[in-house]
Amino acid sequence: MNTKNKNKFLSPGHNACSGCGQLSAVHAVMRGLTPDTIIANATGCLEVTTTAYPQTSWGLPWIHSLFENASSVASGIRAALDKQGNHTTKVLVQAGDGGTYDIGLGLISGMWERGENILYICYDTESYSNTGIQASGSTPYGAATTTTPNGEKSVGSTQVKKDMLAIALAHGLKYVAQTAAGFPDDITNKVKKALAVSGPAYIQILSPCIPGWKINYDEAAMMGKLAVKTGLYPILEYTNGKLSASSINANFKAEPVNTYLKGQGRFKHLTEEDIKHIQSLAEENIKKYRI
């Protein structure tokens, strides 16, 4: 069939789980790019599943070095291009939440501090999916992971999900956005907008993980949409440091968080009291991000 003959930015034949929310989001990101793009990829599911040596799914220049240094590799690429007088080629970083929230954070901060013209995309699966669902700085309250298992005396993760958008904004980024798998056109539009901005930009995409969230193969998009509808993971856009668009607007009608939590194995153990607490987190978001 035709897909074989096309030099796609990301071709089929990768080894991601059937129904992977991250790969669904990556295709939406790719539709926002031009062929004049170089990608630096951190270690993670995306790297492992798309580049099983000696094969690659990528049709764009793509490099992987280490877990923590994708942003620094991108800085090097940008510096080399700039030195050649090439300011039009776009440089993109792709990483998961482990590489972004935890392992790569220091080097990301450096890249942002230097104000380099690089778009950083974090696919947020809310755990270290690739190594077997360990908790990351992005794991939300109540989620069972292999390092935060639930039990008689454990609710799962008790940590607060790190506010990565605030960290990006604190660096003075001109374009910061959050969206979710299940909104492919929104993802593509945000990538195009971010690339039009001169200087660093950050986009974070909630990417439901089939084995990590313990959901069915066909539910990744549904979970992404429910996360937005409950207010737990609103679609947000900050331009020049100001909240310029939000899914929590005049049309927003909050769905109870239970509709989102009950479908996921990682939240299956939660008591009514736990769910009440998570509802209060959603309500905080709804207050904070209303426009």
Size of the site for another protein (CB under 8 A): 42
Residue 7 touches another protein, criterion: CB under 8 A: yes
Give the nearer residue to another protein in terms of CB position, either 68 or 219.
219
Query: Which string of b and e fits 142-169 if b means at least 16 CB within 10 Å?
Result: bbbbeebebeeeebbbeeebbebbebbb
Give the nearer residue to another protein in terms of CB position, either 15 or 258.
15
Residue 63: closest CA among 96, 47, 41, 92: 41
Give the nearer residue to another protein in terms of CB position, either 1 or 250.
1
Give the nearer residue to another protein in terms of CB position, either 21 or 156.
21
Q: H or E stretch including 227?
A: helix 220-229
Give the nearer residue to another protein in terms of CB position, either 161 or 229.
229
Alpha-carbon span 288 to 83, nearest angstrom: 42
Strand partners, 61: none
Using CB under 8 A, which of the segments 57-65, 103-111, 162-170, 253-261 binds another protein? 57-65
Residue 24 touches another protein, criterion: CB under 8 A: yes
CA distances from 192 to 21, 28, 227, 260 (A): 21, 11, 23, 29
Residue 19 touches another protein, criterion: CB under 8 A: yes
Q: H or E stretch including 119?
A: strand 119-124
- Residue 154 three-state SS: strand
181 to 220, contacts with another protein by CB under 8 A?
182, 184-185, 217-220
What residues make contact with another protein under the rule CB under 8 A?
1-4, 7-8, 10-16, 18-24, 27-28, 31, 50, 52-60, 182, 184-185, 217-222
